[in-house]
Structures are given as C-alpha cells and as structure tokens.
Amino acid sequence: MKILLTLVACLIACRASFAQKLNTLTGKIVDEKTVPVSFAIVRILNYPDTMVVKSVSTNIEGAFTIDQLKNGEYLLSISIVGFKRKKTDHFSVNGDLKLPTIGIESLSKQLKEVSVQGKKPFIEHQIDKTVLNVENSIIATGGTALEVLEKAPGVQIDRQNDQIKLNNKSGVMVMIDGKSNFLSGADVTTLLSNMSSDQISTIELITNPSARYDAAGNAGIINIRLKRNKAYGTNGTVSVNTGQGIMPDSPSDLFRAAVNLNLNHRQGKWNIFGNGAVARKAQFNNTFLTRTTLSEGLASSLTQNFDRKNKGVGFQGKLGADYYASEKTVFGVMLDANTVNTKLTNFSNTNINAVQNGTSNLSYILQDANSSSPVGNLTANFNIKHDFDKKGKSLTFDVDYSGFSNKKDENFLANYLNANGNPTNQTSLRNNTDAEINVYAARTDFTLPISKTMKIETGLKSSYVVTNNDFISEQLISGVWQNDLGKSNNFVYKENINAIYGSFSKEWKVFQVQVGLRAEHTHSNGTSVTDQKEVDRNYLSVFPTVFVNQKISENHNIRYSYGRRVDHPNYQQLNPFVFYMDPLAVDQGNPYLKPQFTDNYQISYSYKQASFSLSYSNTRDMITQISKQDDATRVISVIRQNLGRFQNYAADLYVPVKVTKWWNIQNNVSVYYSKFNDGNIEGATYSAGKAAVNVFTSNSFTLPQNFSIEISAWLNSPRVSGVEQTTIYQGALNAGIQKTLMNKKLKLRLNMDDILLTNHWEGKLVYQNINMNVVNRYTSRRANFSISYNFGNQNVKSARSRNTATDDIKGRAGGG
C-alpha cells in the first residue's frame, strides 16, 4: 500500500512539473547603425526583484537564445565593452517568444559630451619591451618610419653604413605587423624611408625576445605595427601629409607628399580590412672624404666629394579578411603588396695630389652617375586560429609566400683630367642587376594552460628560400658595350631552416618565471654559377631563454633575463659580386661569411614608471664592414668579414616626470661601453673600445582650445663601431603643434625635424694602411604638415592582428 501511495505521489508531481512548460526566448542585438553586436553578454532578470536567472552571449550575427525558461515576468540586461549598458522594459513569457531587435548605443555618442584628457605618451616602457605610440605623436607626423625610429631612445640610425642599431648593437630584426620586411642594410632603410609615419600605429622595441620568436636578430626586434581600425561596422582613417627639406647647399626640390587610407568593415562573421598609400619622396646626401695612400715612395692624398639626389614614388596596399566560422575558430587571409621606383643622380669630384721625391702631381676624376631601382614585393598569408576553451588553450597555423623583385640599372661616366683641367681619359660603364627572391614558410603554435598560474607553449616552423641574383657589368670600348667578365656573375642561394621551440611559465606570489628553448637546423647553399664556386653549410643551433620577474612590492619590481640570438648573413652580403661605385671604390660580398651568435644578459629594476637596467652582450664572429685599400692602384674595396669578438656593456635609466597636469616629460639616458677584438684583420690584430652616451628627452604640453605641443631632443656622443669611429656629437631638436577639431576626428599637425641642423655624421677609419676621414650630411631638417580624419565607429575592438610565418628570414634579403 505504501508503495502504491508513493507511485501516485510521484505521478502527481511529474504531471505538475510537465504542466509548467519550459520556454525558449530568442532575440538579436544591434548597434545604432543596425550592425550586429557579437559576443555581448545578455542576462535575463526576474521582474521586479531583478535577480539574475541566466546569462548567455550573442553569436557572430548578434543573436542569442535562452532556453529552459519558466513562465513569468522578466527583463534583459545587455552589456559589452564600448557600449552603454542597457536594460529593456519588462515583458511576459508564456510560451516560446522571439523578441524584436534590440538596439544598444555605442560610447562614441557619450564621448562627444566628455572631454577626454587621457593620452598615451610617445614612449611607454613595458616589462618586456618599449613601445612608441606613433599615432599619438605630433613630432612623428609627416615623417618616415626611419625618421621616427631616430627619435626612439636606444635606437641609432647609422646612415653611413645603412644600419639600424638598438642599444649600440647592429643586427636588428625589423618586422612589420609581426612579419619581417624581408630586406636588410640599404634596402631596409630604403623601405622605411618610403613608409609614411601616418601609416604606423606603434613601434615595439624588444631587446630580449622569448623562445616563441625567431632567433634572428642579435640586438633584438623592432616590430612596426601599422594602423588597424578597431570598430565594428565600416570605419577608417584618411590622411594627407606634405613636407619640404630645408638644407643649405642642396637642391631646391626636396619636396615630399603622401596620401594614406585605412579601411575596416566588420559585419556578421566577416571582418574585411585594407589600407593603401602613395608617397613621393626626395632626399639629398653629401659625402666628403679624405684618405691617403703610400706605395714605393709615392704618397697620394685624395679628397672626394659626392652629391647624391634621389627621388621616387612608392605604392603600398594591403587587403585581408577574417572569417569567424564559430566562436572558437577563425580563418584569415591577407595579401600585401608594395612597390617603389627610386631614381638616383650622383656627381662626384675626386682630387688626387701625388707626391714623389718632392714633386707634386695633381689630377682629377669627375664622374656622373644615375640609376633606376624598381623594387616590388608581394606577400600572401593564410592562417587559422582555434581556441579549445576559454582558459587560453589554442592552436594557430600559418602558411606564407613572399616574392621579391629588386632590379637596378646603373650608368657611370668618368672623365679624367690633368692638373691643367685637360681631359686625359674617359670611361663609360653600366651595370644591370636582376634579383628574384622567393620565400615559402609554414608555422604552427600551440598554447596549453595547465592552471591559472602555469602555461606551456610550443611550436614548429619551416622555411625555404631561393634567391637568384643576376649581375651584368659592361664597359663601352670603341663604341661597343662589352661584358666585363671579371665583374659579371650569377649567384644562386638556397636556404632551409627548420625550427622547434618550447617554453614553460609559472607564477607565484612574488616570482614569475619563464624558461624556453628553441632549436633551429639550417642548411644553406650559395653557388656562383659564373665562377663555379659553391659554399654549402649544414648546422644545428640551440637558443635558450630565461626570464625571472620579482615583484618586491606594488611599486618595486626586478626583472632578470638571458637569451641567445643569431644573425645569419643577408643574401647580398653572401653575394661574391664586385659592385662598382666609382673608379677608386668597389663593394664586394663574401660567400664565406659565418653567422654571428650573441648571448644577452640583463637585469632591470622599476619603481612605478621609472626604470634602471644593466645589460651585457657577447657576440662571436660579428658580421661587419671592412675597408681594404690597395696603395698601388689607390682603389679601396668595401668587404664584409667576421670580426672575432664584440662585447657591449650598457646602463639605461628612464625617468618620466609629470610637472603639471598639462606638462609631461620623459627622459632616457643610456651609457655604453663597446669593445672589439680580432686576431687578424687584413693581416694584423685589431682592438678598440670606447664609452658612449645616448640622451633622449620628450616634452608634451596639453593646451586649451584642443591645442597640444611636443618638443623632443636626442644626443649621441662619439663612439666606436667595429673599425669605424664617430668623432662628433650627433643630435637633433624636434618640435610640433597639433589642433583637433570635429570632436577630435580631425587633426591638423605641423612639425619640424632637426631645427638646429645638428644631425649629421663625421668619423674616421684608422687601422692597418687605412687612414680615412668622412663627413656625411643628409636631409635631416624638414618641415611637415599633416591632416588626418577618422570616420566611422572608432571605439569597439575589432579583429585580431596577425603575424605570419616568415618572421625571421624576411629581414635578410638585399643589403648592399
């Protein structure tokens, strides 16, 4: 009987529960432009006590579904970053219900009524890198990427050797949006000279990268991130800038201009983005050098003056798309292309005073040269990212192709004159360079969080590079162009690098530790087809990294780091061609160059925003530029060699000062000591060392009526680099003013670089039989004016930014 009563009670209870039907509620969230709002948090609340019943998030189309809902009275609360929180009117649920489309308001409307005082400084020192906020800087507007880098603390632009140095070290890996520019040396500076600063969002200076990064770049990584709009819907930025060089004893045509457009459209499952730019540049460079030779009692004193003017027009375009297949999986494609055609005119005047047995003999060489250098690059990327869960477990995959074309046509006409100015000889030469580079790469990375404080990262990468450089040199003899077999050559270089890495990180209350190990196997083959010479290398290298962060208190922090890096010779440095520059100077590659390896150590202390660091690096087989002089012919050859050892000691102090609410100062002082040693440079030992100082300061002023002013200055003391010595202080004073209009969507900026005209280079080379002094002046003072306008919604975060698989190798093509 008891069992029967129990069954009856259960049936009654079940009937009552089924009588209370559970319902499904659906709806859609859009913004004021009816664009779907993805991943918004939708909470359903009881009415009237507003207790939370359930929470869900909208999908890519902005739609949401709430099931298992009892009959009753409810209201919705919708929230997402960048939008005003919204609560709906209450409504009744008595059966399945589809709500009308719900609109929410973006914060951009609210910002119109609020005066936003916060602004990121031009320079931010973060725990693992230094960030230049270029798009917020007045003095960076209207310039080039190279000129912006010159304003960065710890960065030196060596215009004499077309190198970028970081913390007094060469061998910097330059990346753009996480992928290398695939050029180095002179071609890197050419690319950055053609890139407008209006295209740049931030520049990251990473002196000691983790194992996740490619091992290339012994001095670290400079990552240039281009502007990417950060909002749903359609939005973008358009800017126009113009500038004029103001230099004494220079051509009047030093005018440049650029137009930049960035666009982003995000709707539903698609995010489509792109940008385009066209720029016209003009620069002037004057080099004056003196050197001496001595051969069998004949002492010669040479003075040479070079005037170089180059101008050209460049085009750049990028188009990409991300497809959100689900909340966890995203597919992406990207196509990036750029081209620039630079035309160079060069006039040189060489005076030779030869003295033998007390008798002086004067002679002159006048050379006119011109060249045309069209350069093109096409990069394609396909990528996938899958998030397994919300705890951070993810897998990414990239496959890339990059193709580069670098052509150059050069013509040289040299006239030889005696002491009376009468012609004695004439030579006419022409060079044709046709370089093709193809890069194929694939990469996968896996992130596995073990707990909230512990994580493992690992990945694989493979790259394959083929370069074909065909160089033809011809001389006009008796009215007929004849091939110069001693200079013409065809060089083919192939390289395969396979890499694997793993890193482990763990956090405690006081300490954070990350240890990593990267292994790279390299197989390279350089073949001079013309000379039938081959250099084949096959080697395995390992690159450990260790990072320890010690949090002493809320405002006190100490960081210790160690990392091993490598610099492979770039493809042009390995090219054995002899490049003619003038009758007494040639440039030659070295197929036997070895990679250079560097161990970097650093300890840094930070107090609030201020920091102090000490670092030491030890480089073996440093790749450097050596000049070799033949006293008998007076010809000087610029070659590349491995220098035995380079040691760099550095101390860096960063102190920001907030003088008032409207005046902020950032100060950075770096002290270096560089030591170079080699047992045999051109037949003798070499040892040199010198201390140097780099000082940087930036002042920003926020004024009434939406005006702001920036004033910055930097100074580098005399220093030594390899066999080269800088003998003067270099520096520049820069200033700019900005006015914002139309709720800060429109910005007008006017600035001037190197106001006092103090940014030029003077130095000397004194070793073995070399005794040379050089003065190099370039277009450093320039006035710039820029107008930029932001349109569309600028407040809600958009799609991810993507790195590609060609990060390490794309910085090594070219050079010069």
At residue 3, the pLDDT reads: 41
Beta bridge partners of 76: 44
Contacts of 244 (CB under 8 A, 6+ apart): 254, 255, 256, 782, 783
pLDDT at 691 over 80: yes
- Give me the phi and psi of 148, to 5 degrees please: -65, -45
pLDDT value, residue 144: 73
Radius of gyration of the chain (CA): 31
What's the CA gap between 188 and 170, in Å, rounded?
A: 13
The share of the chain scoring above pLDDT 90, in percent, equals 48
- The Cα–Cα gap between 185 and 629 comes to 23
Per-residue pLDDT at 24 exceeds 80: yes
Q: Following CA atoms 722, 724, 727, 728 in sequence, which dihedral angle do they give, to the nearest 10 degrees?
A: -80
Question: For residue 515, which phi and psi values (nearest 5 degrees)?
Answer: -120, 140
Q: Which residue has the higher pLDDT, 358 or 733?
A: 733
User: Which one has a higher pLDDT value, 366 or 56?
Assistant: 366
Share of residues in the chain with pLDDT > 70 (%):
87
Average pLDDT in the chain:
84
Reading phi first (left if > 0) and then psi (alpha if -120 to 50, else beta), residue 662 is in alpha
Check if 18-105 and 123-791 are the same fold: no
**pLDDT grade, residue 579 (50/70/90)?**
confident
Q: Sorting pLDDT into bands at 50, 70 and 90, what band is 285?
A: very high
Residue 431 has pLDDT above 60, yes or no: yes
Q: What is the mean pLDDT of residues 558-571?
A: 88
Task: Find the largest Cα–Cα distance for the chain.
Answer: 139
Contact at 8 Å (CB) between 565 and 541? Answer: no
Between these two residues, 135 and 782, which has the higher pLDDT value? Answer: 782
- Tell me what the mean pLDDT of segment 5-31 comes to: 61
Can you tell me whether residue 110 is helix, strand or coil? helix
Give the residue among 516, 533, 411 at the shortest CA–CA distance from 473: 411
pLDDT tens digit string along 628-673?
A: 999 999 999 999 899 999 999 999 998 989 899 999 898 999 999 9
| pTM score of the predicted model | 0.76
As a CATH number, domain 123-791 is 2.40.170.20
What average pLDDT does this structure show over 714-731?
A: 94
Of the ranges 84-98, 479-493, 629-643, which is most confident? Answer: 629-643
Beta bridge partners of 282: 311
Q: What are 546-563's pLDDT values in tens digits?
A: 999 898 988 898 999 999
* Predicted local confidence at residue 533, as pLDDT: 84
In which band, very low, low, confident or very high, does the pLDDT at 785 lie, cut at 50, 70 and 90? very high
Q: Are 535 and 526 in contact (CB under 8 A)?
A: yes
Residue 145, pLDDT above cutoff 80: no
The CATH superfamily holding the domain 18-105 is Immunoglobulins (2.60.40.10)
Q: What is the pLDDT of residue 792?
A: 76
Phi, psi of 555 (to 5 degrees): -110, -5
Q: Kindly list the domain boundaries of the chain, sorted by start residue.
A: 18-105, 123-791
373, 346 contact by CB (below 8 A): no
Residue 363 has pLDDT above 70, yes or no: yes
Q: Which residue has the higher pLDDT, 20 or 703?
A: 703
